Structure 1
Amino acid sequence: MTSIDPIFVRKNLIHSDAIGNRSADPLPRLLAQLIARAGAPTLVERATSRPWASALFEGRRHIIRLKLEGGDASVRRAQFAQGLEEAEWILPRHFVADICIDDQGAEADSLWIELSALTISDW
């Protein structure tokens, strides 16, 4: 027999709300802001998030690969990269401590950007 846990409702998976004593993962909101910054059409090819902690802080480390398509993809990629480290991100109960482009390249009909970000829980 299969049962459904009422805590893990579909709405929570979409919005990534906190469950129990764990804080919400800021990755979905960060992805939405990165896609908006890159412009349309942009696809998220891969996005991973894992816990991170130091002696004083806790947060999450994110690895993200975006695929930019369209005739203006090279212009949008350059605009995306310009000022990325100084950009302001709106993440409830978190802040972006570090974000950078790790790699970028081209495929037959698109360009891609791989970046990493560190988000810290804001106490």
Structure 2
Amino acid sequence: MHFTNSPPPPRPVRRSPAVKLREQVLALADGPAALLAHEEKAWASATFAGTRHRLELAFEGDEAVQAGESFIAFLPEHEFAVPRQLVADAAVVAVDHRLAPEPRMTVSCELLLLDE
């Protein structure tokens, strides 16, 4: 009988709520967005605890800017699915739109996640 010392199977990687939120924001942006920044800060009120997230996305080119316009329209009402978290607020807080040398739009949004 021969035994081999094989390594144990890899453990599944757990993605944090921040990573899941970022993935869903980028999915809502419909593909052409580039993530420029993602900041996360602890947040609490007298009755709730959670995190506030600020994401900055860039949309470059005509089609991407059109997708960015849709993103702006749909973000506040989008139903996010982050396990053990409730997205209590999602808002666009800044937009910078340039036409030259090629169309480009940057969008900053803030999302409040509450622990369930």
Secondary structure of the residue aligned to 1:90 is coil
TM-score, normalised on structure 2? 0.79
Give how far 1:27 is off.
1.5
Return the alpha-carbon distance in structure 1 between the equivalents of residues 43 and 21 of structure 2: 16
Determine which structure has more spread, i.e. the larger CA radius of gyration.
2
Q: Which runs of structure 2 are paired with 1:1-123 in the superposition (5 Å)?
A: 11-12=13-14, 15-16=15-16, 26-107=17-98, 108-109=101-102, 110-122=104-116
What secondary structure sits across from 1:82 in the alignment? Answer: helix
Q: Structure 1: any 5+ residue segments left out of the alignment?
A: 1-8, 17-25
Amino acid at match of 2:20: R
**Normalising by the residue count of structure 1, what TM-score does the alignment of the two structures yield?**
0.75
- Identity level (%): 28
**How large is the Cα RMSD of the aligned pairs?**
1.9
